[in-house]
Structure 1
Amino acid sequence: MRIIVDLQAAQNDSSFRGVGRYSKSLLRAMVPLAKAHGHDVWLLLNGNFSETIEPLMREFADVVPPERIAIFPGMAPVTETVAANEWRLRAAEHLREEFLAQLRPDVVHVSSLFEGSVDDAVVSVGRTGIKLPTVVTLYDLIPWVLSQHYVTTPEYERFYFGKVDSLRRADLLLAISQHSADEAVTLLQYPRDKVVNISAAIDDRFVCKTYLPQEAEEITSRYGIQKPFVLYMPGGFDPRKNFATLIDAYALLPTHIRASHQLVIGSNIKAAERAALAAEVKRTGLSSDDVRVIGYVPDEDLVALYSLCRLHVFPSLYEGFGLPVLEALACGAPTIASNTSSLPEVVGLDEALFDPRSAQDLANKMLHALADVEFAAKLRRNGLAQARRFSWQRSATLALEAIERTFRPRDYSPINYKDEHGFVDAVLAALSARPPQVAPMRQDIDLLRDSAKKAWAELRRLGGGPVR
């Protein structure tokens, strides 16, 4: 089969988050396996993110040659939460699906569907009359479950539930946890036999390391860490990360425990988020010395902080998987986490779980781990053993098996496109059948014609024939 992987999640802001890392890691594990099974793997990238194309081509050159990497023109600006972009976005979605159809996919794998709310990603399923066989990686349905925090504007509501409609049109969902798989069935009413939990994994760099005292001091002092520390690497700073409860719980610890430890929080953080955290710390009577907010941590230092911390705590209210938890387990960090969503699957030990809505329950669990050496050792042993249960090879195998069960090679018949004008006519016909609320301007039509010309030239480069 010809499997085309839409890798836009590695081109936009998602590339800096778990979604981007997951997409690339799964792809790298799947390609050799797919080739061994006789399948042909292609990549689809978006020309709107031109600066990312060459780096991604180099990154995957050993598994996907340039002649198997297709670039479609995305017709920017198309950010979906900007109402003025609606016609261009719909045209770009139609053009993408027409372009994909010319590449004769037996299956299109969308690595991340919920893209384009703040950038110029273009991802849809079944937007046109073309029915492309499609599998989508499902990370979570967080904005649906916690809509009071995330679906707060009409623009985002239109974006998010439009993507949900696309998700329902997919032929197969690859969920990253059993929890996400179950929610697809209960919330989306998606057929149980069309949702497969392929789980997740982490990079090989996350391993338990031992550091000499001088090395440990050099690393910790770089981040202003002066005492044994409790670590939280949230992977983001949105409300579900539950900072207020964590800080309240830390303030509830006995004075002698707080005096001999620091709470360290690290991840990408904006000025407004840093100020909000500082206000939470001040509210509880803690000081900036008690709670260190260290910002972005590169992977090599992250491994060290996981390996050196006295305790890793993860109080998130909701996670599709919780990659930071698995990273910490693999590095030997004694880890406790919320008893909600997917986190019990990752941690694998009931004694390590707490109620994330109870500051007292969290404080009790932290105190147990910090004061009881045997319990901390049990957490460490459990973590190292649990981490070995997850691998990209296993996830890739589960994904490919699901794809092979669901899809078969397709027969394509010729279509009478002689040049790029066929693309333009097809897109305009589809849009006239269901007109967007925003009418096109002359420059929008010109952009469509220019993009269709680029798409046609790209097909010629790839050797693709005009077929559906």
Structure 2
Amino acid sequence: MRIVLDLQGAQSASRLRGIGRYSLSFAQALVRNNAGHDIIIALSALFPETIQPIRRAFDNLLPAGNIVVWDAPGPVAAIDPSNAERRDLAELVREAFLASLNPDIVHVTSLFEGYIDDAVTSITRHGAGCPVSVTLYDLIPLLNADRFLDPDPRYAEYYRQKIGYLKKASLLLAISRSAASEAVDHLGRDEAQVIPVGTGSDGHFRKTELRPVERDAVLASMGLYHPFFLYVSAPAVHKNHKRLIEAFARLPAAVRDTHQLAFIGHFSIFDRQDFETHAARSGLRPGSLVLLDSVSDSDLNTLYNLSQGFIMPSWHEGFGLPAVEAMLCGRATIGSRASSLPEVIGRDDALFDPFDVDDMCRVIHRLATDDEWRRELEAHAAVQSRLFTWDNVARKTFQAFESLRPAAGSGVAPDPLPQRKRRLA
């Protein structure tokens, strides 16, 4: 099969989030596990600064000629209504370019792109008969329209258009069983067309040992002077930071005053002020909450390893990859009893109601004070985290693609991709 991967998810603003990491790791996993398929990666010239780094990410994995670039007039971001005509044209140009590659299947690693930047995604605008599959992360805005769609009509229009495209996809590759169930229950998709392929860790995260001098230097540089609990997340409302702050503040003073709560994410000035104000109003002393802007993978691995435990309080997650990363580092991990997190964490006694601050506080207190239970969770983490590998994702993905083969064409291998159709950056 000729498989074309639209990798804009690793180019757009999402490249700084979990979706970007997923998109790139997913593509690398397919290339590493490829057995006879012709894999082409399609990039957008509207993100010129991302092209060479992505090329380097596939050095020794994929021939340079298998990474192609398409172009269209910009800007096209949907947030600006003056871009509408250019965006409409760009969607047609992109689909025509992808069709010109003679694919058996096109896979879009992130469909919900292009609201605040120049990503371009659509399905069946050009009328090509090639099957299109899409990675499904979640349907959070659709299922929480009062929070995410109703207050912003322009974003709602953009999002619902993407939902329309999503319904036209031949196949959805869900990152969890929870996300797959959402598509079946709320999009009316047939279960056979929604395949939970899961996710994996990109290999940066593992148990490590630091010498006491190195450990103390790292912690001091980040303002961490007590045993700390870690949360890695974007500052979105469904990530539930504020209830976690409240739950930490309700710990008995003897526990609260000898521990810290550390958040890692891309925090704007507003986010930082909002969380710090909420912490103060909840009764936390200065320094109890530590906000760390996005750190390197190396430093993040160190922080996972040095934390007393990882907490994932989100009330809705498509998957919850940071929980897996923490478990790969051998950390006791607790989290919300909602959406995908029970299947990720894999222990009912490590879960809490994300809307019940007292229940959250109860489990955090046990994590802080019950050494035997914490060691049980650490042992469990070593086993549970092995379930989530990119090789497993690639295997399930190829099986899903193969299931579409009868609809992908005559079965005759396409002609070699004409070099004139490859615009190389």
Q: Deviations over 1:54-107 (max 9, x none)?
A: 221222132222222221113211001211111111111011111111111110
Q: CA deviation at 1:111?
A: 0.7
Take 1:128 and 1:299, find their aligned partners in 2: how far apart are those partners? 40
Whether the aligned pair in 1 keeps the contact of 2:100 and 2:421 (CA below 8 Å) is no
Say which SS state the counterpart of residue 294 (structure 1) adopts.
strand
Alignment correspondent of 1:387: 385
Bigger radius of gyration: 1
Q: CA deviation at 1:298?
A: 1.2
Take 1:412 and 1:385, find their aligned partners in 2: how far apart are those partners? 41
Say which SS state the counterpart of residue 123 (structure 2) adopts.
coil
Alignment correspondent of 1:119: 117
Structure 1 residue 70 and structure 2 residue 30: aligned? no
Say which SS state the counterpart of residue 15 (structure 2) adopts.
helix
Whether the aligned pair in 2 keeps the contact of 1:261 and 1:290 (CA below 8 Å) is yes
Q: CA deviation at 1:459?
A: 6.3
State the percentage of identical aligned residues: 38
Structure 1 residue 222 and structure 2 residue 221: aligned? yes
In structure 2, the CA distance between the partners of 1:461 and 1:102, relative to structure 1 (3 Å rule), is closer
Alignment correspondent of 2:32: 32
Q: CA deviation at 1:33?
A: 2.5
Say which SS state the counterpart of residue 77 (structure 2) adopts.
coil
Q: Structure 2 residue aligned with 1:342, among 340, 343, 352?
A: 340
Alignment correspondent of 1:6: 6
Q: Structure 2 residue aligned with 1:274, among 267, 272, 280?
A: 272
Alignment correspondent of 2:46: 48
Q: CA deviation at 1:407?
A: 2.4
Structure 1 residue 212 and structure 2 residue 172: aligned? no
**Superposition pairs for residues 253-268 of structure 1, below 5 Å?**
253-268=251-266
Structure 1 residue 460 and structure 2 residue 420: aligned? yes
In structure 2, the CA distance between the partners of 1:224 and 1:317, relative to structure 1 (3 Å rule), is same
Take 1:304 and 1:33, find their aligned partners in 2: how far apart are those partners? 29
Q: Structure 2 residue aligned with 1:249, among 238, 247, 255?
A: 247
Say which SS state the counterpart of residue 173 (structure 1) adopts.
strand
Whether the aligned pair in 2 keeps the contact of 1:4 and 1:41 (CA below 8 Å) is yes
Whether the aligned pair in 1 keeps the contact of 2:227 and 2:308 (CA below 8 Å) is yes
Take 1:42 and 1:397, find their aligned partners in 2: how far apart are those partners? 18
Structure 1 residue 180 and structure 2 residue 140: aligned? no
Q: CA deviation at 1:380?
A: 0.6
Structure 1 residue 198 and structure 2 residue 158: aligned? no
Residue type of the alignment partner of 2:2: R
Take 2:419 and 2:267, find their aligned partners in 1: how far apart are those partners? 41
Question: What is the aligned length?
Answer: 417
Q: Deviations over 1:14-51 (max 9, x none)?
A: 111111111111111111333x2x21000110010111
Q: CA RMSD in A?
A: 1.7
Take 1:47 and 1:294, find their aligned partners in 2: how far apart are those partners? 33
Say which SS state the counterpart of residue 293 (structure 2) adopts.
coil
In structure 2, the CA distance between the partners of 1:228 and 1:47, relative to structure 1 (3 Å rule), is same
Q: CA deviation at 1:53?
A: 1.2
Whether the aligned pair in 2 keeps the contact of 1:262 and 1:289 (CA below 8 Å) is yes
Alignment correspondent of 2:146: 148
Q: Deviations over 1:293-315 (max 9, x none)?
A: 12222111111111111121111
Residue type of the alignment partner of 1:204: G
Alignment correspondent of 2:18: 18
**Superposition pairs for residues 150-165 of structure 1, below 5 Å?**
150-151=148-149, 152-165=151-164
Q: CA deviation at 1:131?
A: 2.8
Say which SS state the counterpart of residue 41 (structure 2) adopts.
strand
Structure 1 residue 96 and structure 2 residue 56: aligned? no
Whether the aligned pair in 2 keeps the contact of 1:5 and 1:110 (CA below 8 Å) is yes
Alignment correspondent of 2:327: 329
Residue type of the alignment partner of 1:267: G
Range that drifts further, 225-234 or 270-279: 225-234
Whether the aligned pair in 1 keeps the contact of 2:353 and 2:359 (CA below 8 Å) is yes
Say which SS state the counterpart of residue 104 (structure 1) adopts.
coil
Q: Which runs of 5+ in 1 are unaligned?
A: 414-457, 464-468
Range that drifts further, 295-304 or 220-229: 295-304
Take 1:209 and 1:82, find their aligned partners in 2: how far apart are those partners? 47
In structure 2, the CA distance between the partners of 1:461 and 1:133, relative to structure 1 (3 Å rule), is closer
Whether the aligned pair in 1 keeps the contact of 2:307 and 2:331 (CA below 8 Å) is yes
Q: CA deviation at 1:52?
A: 1.2
Q: CA deviation at 1:461?
A: 5.1
Residue type of the alignment partner of 1:142: I
Runs of 4+ in 1 over 3 A off after TM superposition: none
Residue type of the alignment partner of 1:462: R
Whether the aligned pair in 1 keeps the contact of 2:101 and 2:421 (CA below 8 Å) is no
Whether the aligned pair in 1 keeps the contact of 2:226 and 2:260 (CA below 8 Å) is yes
Alignment correspondent of 1:453: none
Q: CA deviation at 1:367?
A: 0.8
Take 2:24 and 2:385, find their aligned partners in 1: how far apart are those partners? 20
Residue type of the alignment partner of 1:85: N
Take 2:219 and 2:21, find their aligned partners in 1: how far apart are those partners? 26
Take 1:374 and 1:381, find their aligned partners in 2: how far apart are those partners? 11
Take 1:129 and 1:259, find their aligned partners in 2: how far apart are those partners? 62
The TM-score with structure 1 as length reference comes to: 0.86
**Superposition pairs for residues 301-450 of structure 1, below 5 Å?**
301-408=299-406, 410-411=409-410
Q: Structure 2 residue aligned with 1:105, among 103, 106, 109?
A: 103
Q: Which runs of 5+ in 2 are unaligned?
A: 413-417
Range that drifts further, 52-61 or 215-224: 52-61
Q: CA deviation at 1:412?
A: 11
Take 1:59 and 1:312, find their aligned partners in 2: how far apart are those partners? 29
Residue type of the alignment partner of 1:14: S
